[in-house]
A and B are shown apart, each in its own frame.
Chain A
Amino acid sequence: MNETALLIAATLAAGTPLALAGLGLLVNERAGVVNLGAEGMMAIAAVTGFAAAFHTGNDWVGFAAGAAAGAAAASLFGWLALWLYTNQYATGLALSLFGGGFSAFVGTGYVGKKLEQSAGVGIPGLRDVPFLGPALFRQHPMVYIAIAIMAATAWFFYRTRAGLVLRSVGESPDSAHALGYPVRQIRMGAVLVGGALCGVSGAYLSITYAPMWVEGMIAGRGWIALALTVFATWRPGRVLLGAYLFGGVTMLQLHLQAQGVQIPSQFMSMLPYLSTVFVLVLISRDPLWIRLNMPASLGKTFHPGS
């Protein structure tokens, strides 16, 4: 019983960075922009966040710095892809590779440095509830913030006028443009939000999850987050669930090992991608699925006035 609770707790912690980045990328993609630079933005944010937390001694300054760094990297992408009309896929890939190298370059001084750790506090009153306390209510605040962001995203998309405008920009930028909406500015806003959330995710990894900075520590989580948006068929709630599912698969595999059950870990590490391909196949076969959820102009360059 207790072990199950701890497994649930570990799953939530492992899924949170995926959820944060996935939700950010979802905002991007709902506005019609694919930013493949997630891995790079997360790396830049991880080193920036670590450095800020290291020098100020305050984790929250670190998270803020990570968000700012992610948004800054995303603004570079946005400027190239939206104003200079570069191909979104190529630009995103470039940002991903650039971010990996750049973060390693600026981060050399922080390798092997130690960050002071504050013990997890959890939610007073609920943290001592049997089973549910250890499973759900002793997490780092960022775990709950990720859930709140999911709710906010869903509310924004489906309950606000601004969300409707954002989605219409992703569906048909030409129509939105004809109605007088500033398509590129709206898309830039979405790109910045996406970068900031990827940034928070990267900072969570380097400040809280494995509190250290080393090159390559993002280790493919940016790509999993990208796969997650497809896996979730562009719905916020499913992004969160998918993140916990992918996090849970990793933790379950390690947990089973600790119980003496052997499953090849290589198999487990390819599972997120395999399931994404599976979902892609499913939704590609059903045009209705695509029409309902996939932003129609996803990844396409918009030229105003053309």
Chain B
Amino acid sequence: MHGRSFLRNLTLAALVALGLAACSKSEPPKPAAPAPAPAAKVEPLKIGFIYVGPVGDAGWTYAHDLGRKAVEARFGDRVKTTYVEKVAEGPDAERVIRDLVAQGNKLIFATSFGFGDSMEKVARDHPEVFFEHATGFKTAPNLRNYEGRFYEDSYVAGVLAGMTTKTDVIGFVGSFPIPEVLRNINAFTLGARSVNPKVKTKVVWVNAWFDPSKETEAAQSLINGGADVLLQNTDSTAVLQTAEKNGKHAFGWDSDMSAFAPKAHLASCALNWGPYYVKATSDVLEKTWKTENTKWGIKEGLTTFVKVNDAVPAAAKAKVDEAKAFLVANPGAVFRGPIKDSTGKEILAAGVVGDDKFKGEMNFYVEGVEGKVPAGK
């Protein structure tokens, strides 16, 4: 009988645990600017930011927060920014966004793909507030999206990876199989094969944006599979550190991660959101805000390829500079025909450059990537 009551209690406990885990928490917004503006002045523009990770993640969210600081530095007393960090993608985000609206924020930035549906709902209810969604695709009269041409950095990283690899196998740690991530995998592969046609890319999915242990395990299994240069679309420094431990190479992602792996670090695909956030804020202040899809890349300085390791040979550096110069002259022209998918079917004919629709709906691997895109997303 004792056994039975233990089992019953355990089941009960597991159910309670599940229930509690479902109501995931989020922190109250932290006021970022201390003292309120004196009464005589014009009311400052209140700007809210919603982050998917912690600001100290040294990656995606950290880069966005640098952008927020750039807005504060640029506009001073004219703006008052607030952020909410570690907001779960999904329904919880809607509550947080409504909270920010209720607090009087007139410009709201949501910095992850999974906030899109919530943004759209709240935007419909609050036409007086301007909404900006990073890496999204939905628009409304008061909702627009902005995004980096991250795949330009992935392409340049691919070029460097193709010049560096000794095994002709490179690896990619993927988060979720969505077009944004597939673009990076494909650009990475195209870049590598542009300088070294023998290169093959192995992909491992971890189904998380931020899970250091899982990222470590994924990186290790890629290295075990023969990959000697890794790139990741996840947000921690784990892949880079695993490469360092194994004496292989990898790249920083989202921000400059050179300090985490002095030997393994080939370069960082760093994001610089400041210029866009300053522009968006000034659009609202100058009343010139209108709906659009902004996509900035290497040319505009949103995606930057920084801190190329001193140990990289001059020939490889020259190839990197060449690729960068090409993308500055031809923004977004990573996907230009002829491109075949991994089954050998021609996707883009010679001379054709993939348009926004092509890139936005990407759901295949290019030739050179092993395996199949997981179904379901």
Which residues of A does B touch, CB under 8 Å? 3, 6-7, 10, 14, 34, 36, 89, 92-93, 96-97, 101, 108, 111-112, 114, 117, 119-120, 205, 209-212, 214-215, 217, 219, 221, 223, 230, 250-251, 254-255, 257-262, 264-266, 280, 284, 287, 290-291, 294, 296-300
Contacts and interface: CB of A to CB of B under 8 A. Distances in A.
B374 A93 contact: no
A205 B206 contact: no
Interface string B1-38: 01111110110110011001000010000000000000
14 contacts: A7-B224, A10-B220, A34-B6, A114-B260, A117-B245, A120-B245, A215-B86, A217-B212, A217-B213, A219-B214, A221-B213, A251-B220, A254-B204, A258-B171
Contacts of B9: 34, 89, 299
Contacts of A119: 245
The 5 A-B residue pairs with the shortest CB-CB distance, nearest first, are A111-B56, A260-B371, A210-B212, A6-B224, A112-B58
A290 B3 contact: yes
B313 interface: no
A260 B201 CA distance: 10
Interface of B: 2-7, 9-10, 12-13, 16-17, 20, 25, 54, 56-58, 62, 86, 171, 202-207, 210-218, 220-222, 224-227, 236-238, 241, 244-245, 259-260, 370-372, 374, 376
B260 A264 contact: no
Contact of B225 (A36, A114, A258, A297): A258
A97 B202 contact: no
Contacts of B260: 114
A36 B238 contact: no
Query: Chain B CB within 10 Å — which of A92, A250, A254 has the most?
Result: A254
A212 B204 contact: no
B374 A264 contact: yes
Contact of B212 (A212, A261, A290, A294): A212
A199 B12 CA distance: 26
A204 to B, nearest CB: 11
A223 to B, nearest CB: 7
Query: Chain B CB within 10 Å — which of A120, A209, A223, A299 has the most?
Result: A299
Nearest to B202: A258
A7 B224 CA distance: 7
Query: Chain A CB within 10 Å — which of B6, B62, B171, B236 has the most?
Result: B6
A257 B205 contact: yes
Given A108-B54, A258-B171, 4 more contacts: A89-B10, A254-B204, A255-B224, A291-B3
A209 B241 CA distance: 10
A302 B209 CA distance: 45
Contacts of A230: 10
A300 B2 CA distance: 9
Given A89-B9, A299-B9, A117 B241 contact: yes
A212 B126 CA distance: 41
B13 A92 contact: yes
Given A93-B16, A265-B205, A290-B3, A254 B213 contact: no
B212 A112 contact: no
Contacts of B214: 219
Query: Chain B CB within 10 Å — which of A205, A258, A280, A294 has the most?
Result: A258
Contact of B13 (A93, A255, A266): A93
Given A111-B57, A112-B58, A265-B207, A117 B13 contact: no
Nearest to B11: A280
B51 to A, nearest CB: 13
B17 A93 contact: yes
B6 A298 contact: yes
Contact of B202 (A7, A96, A260, A300): A260
Nearest to A2: B224
A258 B221 contact: yes
Contact of A254 (B10, B25, B218, B241): B218
B206 A265 contact: yes
Contacts of A255: 221, 224-225
Given A215-B86, A219-B211, A257 B204 contact: yes
A210 B213 contact: yes
Contacts of B7: 280, 284
Nearest to A254: B221
B265 to A, nearest CB: 12
B6 A294 contact: yes
A259 B225 contact: yes
B212 A10 contact: no
Contacts of B238: 210, 212
Query: Chain B CB within 10 Å — which of A92, A212, A261, A280 has the most?
Result: A212
Contacts of A262: 371-372, 374
